[in-house]
Amino acid sequence: MASTELIAEYRRWLAFQRQEQLTREHQGVSQRLDDARATANQVIQAYRSMAEKAATEGAFYRTLFLREYVETALPCEGWLFVRRLINEENGTKVKATLLETFNLADGILEPGDKPARKLTLEIFDRVQLDKGMRTQVRVDTIETGGDFHFITLLDAARGDLRRHLD
């Protein structure tokens, strides 16, 4: 096997390893949110805090989200810059910019390897019928149905990514 093929296979293996790690992490954090019975109002307050820190400190927050593929949904990773929240009659929308840092197709990416993508996220409580009419907070994109169930981590922030914004 040529060294270039070997390196390509190694990078592919690393991508699958990272995918498995993100799958476990997304499931774990999602389960903790369910167990804590987090509500849309609590998540809205968290995003409001992120928007304030983004405005004053240029803070980006690590986010995990699911992306639909042909027969499954796989977690992806990125850094989210929360620009503002919009309160409407039927819910709260979040205007944000995403710098993607991992998806299975591209593998591990450095911030800025892909162009920043502007998103509108919607925060809502979803009823889970299989759990006795319990609600689960969800944050999904409005523009595309392919990316959904965003989980943004308040304890993972950085302020050095603003140069990658459009």
Q: How confident is the model at residue 144 (pLDDT cuts 50, 70, 90)?
A: confident
Question: What total number of domains does the chain contain?
Answer: 1
Phi-psi region of 27 (alpha: psi -120 to 50; beta: other; left: phi over 0): alpha
Domain range for residue 65?
A: 3-164
d(CA 4, CA 158): 34
Give yes or no for residue 160 having a pLDDT over 70. yes
Give yes or no for residue 132 having a pLDDT over 90. no
Return the closest-CA partner of residue 119 out of 143, 85, 91, 155. Answer: 143
**Reported pTM:** 0.91
